[in-house]
Structure 1
C-alpha cells in the first residue's frame, strides 16, 4: 500500500541525505524515473513524493489509488510524464461496480499542475475527477498528450488549449463537456 511506499521513500531519501554528506557522493543517488505501474498500491498518493526533486517520470497507473491528487506534485519541476490513470482494483467481475465507487482518484485537477511547465504527458483518464478543465493548463507549453477521458469533468472545453502548440492528443471522452475542441 502507499503507506509502505511512503516509508520506503522516506528511508531512501534518508540514505541519499546520509551519503550526500560525503564529498564524492553528492550526486550519487538521483531518482529520475519512478515506475510503479500495476503494483497493487492502494491509498492516497503521498505528498512526500515531492522529495524526489529530480523526478522526470512518475508512473502510478493501474493501481488502486484513491483520494485527491496532491497539490504538492507541482513542486516536481523536472516532471515530464505523469501517469495516474486507471486506478482501480483488479477484482472479480461482480465487484467491478464496488471497485468503480471506491478506488479512484477524486476531486478537482489541482490548479498547481499548470506550474509543471515541462510536462509532455498528463494521463488522468478513468478516475472520478470532477470540476472544470483548468485554464492553467495553458502554461504547459511542452504538453503533447492530455488524457482526461472517463471522469466527471464538466463545463466548456477551454479555448486556451489552442495556445498549447505542441498538443497532439486531447482525449476528453465520457465527461460532461461542451463546446468546440480548439484547433
Structure 2
C-alpha cells in the first residue's frame, strides 16, 4: 500500500478502474530526502498536483512542462538552492506555486509574474535584486515575497493588479525609494505589508481609496510627514482593522488618526510626534528631517470619491502620470 499517491480518472474518459491514473502526489511532512526529484515527478504523465512541503529534498526542480494537467507545485520548506528554477517558468497552466523556506538565491526572472497562478509564495529564501516591473502582470490573489533580500522600489506597475490582488507581503527585504502612489489604485486589496524595509517619503493620499484593506503594515521604514486622515478614515468608511506605522519618522497625525491611536488600531510608536509617548529622541528626528534619505513628490489629489470628500473635477486628469507610463508620484 503506497501512501501519498492519489488516483483519479482522466478528464473526458469513463470513470472506470481501467482509466484510473496517478493524479496527485502529497508527501507533505513525510521527512523524505532525495538528491533529485528529476526522473520521479516527471515520470507520471497525468500528474496534476505535487505537494512535498516539509521534507529534505535537494537538487534541481524537474521539468514538468510535458505534463498537460499539471497545475499545483508545492516545494516549500525543503533544501533546494541555487537560482530561481527555470523549469518553473514554462508552466503556463500553473495555478499554485510555493517555493518558500528554501535556499534559492539570485534574481527572480520577470516571466515568473506572468504565470497564471492564483497564489505565488517566494518568501523566506535569498532572492535579491529588484522586483521586476512585470509584477504588474500577475493575476495572483496572494503574492508573498517577504523575508528575502530584494532591493529597489516597489514597482509602480502594481496598479495593474487592481481587481485581482488581495494580499501582498513585501516585508523584511531591503526595498527602498518612495512609497508608490499607485498602491492606492489597487481595488480589492485586503492586506498590504511592506514593513521592515527602507522605504521613504509620505504616505500618498491615494491610500485613502483602499476601501477593502483590513491590514496595512508600513512599520520599520523611513516614512515621514503627516499621517493622512483619509487613510485613518478607512476604519469607519472601509474595513481597516490594523494600521501599523511604528518605527518611522512621522511628525503629526490628524483627528481621525488620533481616534485610532486611542482605540489601538493605529500604532505610531517610535516616530517623531510631539506630545506622544514612546517616540524617537528629538535630536534623532532633527537629524533625519535635516537630511531625509530621499525627497519624494507629494501628489495632493485623491483618485476616488470618499465619504465627506469631493475631489475637484480635474482630479482624474491630475492622476500621477506613472499610471500612464510617465514619471511622477513616488517609486524611484
Find out whether 1:55 has 2:128 as its counterpart.
no
Q: 1:139-182, CA deviations, whole angstroms, 9 ceiling, x for partnerless residues?
A: 11001111011111000110111331311111111111122325
User: Is 2:197 the counterpart of 1:127?
Assistant: yes
Deviation at 1:109, TM superposition (A): 1.1
Tell me how far apart the structure 1 counterparts of residues 189 and 248 of structure 2 sit (CA, whole Å): 23
Structure 1 residues 10 and 162: alpha-carbon distance in aligned structure 2, compared to 1, 3 A threshold: same
- CA-CA distance at 1:46 after TM superposition: 1.0
Q: Helix, strand or coil: the match of 1:11?
A: coil
Q: Greater relative contact order: 1 or 2 (C-alpha under 8 angstroms, separation 6 or more)?
A: 1
Q: Describe the shift of the 1:5–1:138 C-alpha distance in structure 2 as closer, same or farther (beyond 3 A).
A: farther
The answer to whether the Cα contact below 8 Å between 1:6 and 1:48 also exists between their aligned partners in 2 is no
State the TM-score, normalized to the length of structure 1.
Answer: 0.74
Match of 1:65 in 2: 150
Partners of 1:158 and 1:174 lie apart in 2 by: 17
Between Structure 1 and Structure 2, the one with more helix by share is: 1
The residue correspondences of 1:107-146 to structure 2 (distance < 5 A) are 107-146=177-216
Distance in 1 (CA, whole Å) between partners of 2:87 and 2:134 is 11
Give distance in 1, aligned partners of 2:249 and 2:135: 32
Between Structure 1 and Structure 2, how many residues are aligned? 149
Tell me: CA distance 1:5–1:174, structure 2 relative to 1, closer, same or farther (3 Å).
same
Counterpart secondary structure, 1:141: coil
Ranges in structure 2 where 5+ consecutive residues have no aligned partner: 1-82, 94-114, 261-332
- Per-residue CA shift, 1:48-106, capped at 9, x if unaligned? 23332x2111100000000011111110121010100001xxxxxxxxxxxxxxxx100
What residue number does 1:95 align with? none
TM-score (norm: length of structure 2): 0.42
Q: Within the alignment, does 1:168 sit opposite 2:253 as a pair? A: no
| Cα distance in 2, alignment partners of residues 8 and 133 from structure 1 | 39
The runs of at least 4 aligned residues of structure 1 exceeding 4 Å deviation read 4-10
Q: Are positions 1:82 and 2:82 aligned together?
A: no
In structure 2, the partner of 1:148 is: 218
Does structure 2 retain, via aligned residues, the 8 Å contact 1:133–1:158?
yes
Alpha-carbon distance change, 49 to 10 in structure 1, aligned in 2, over 3 angstroms: farther
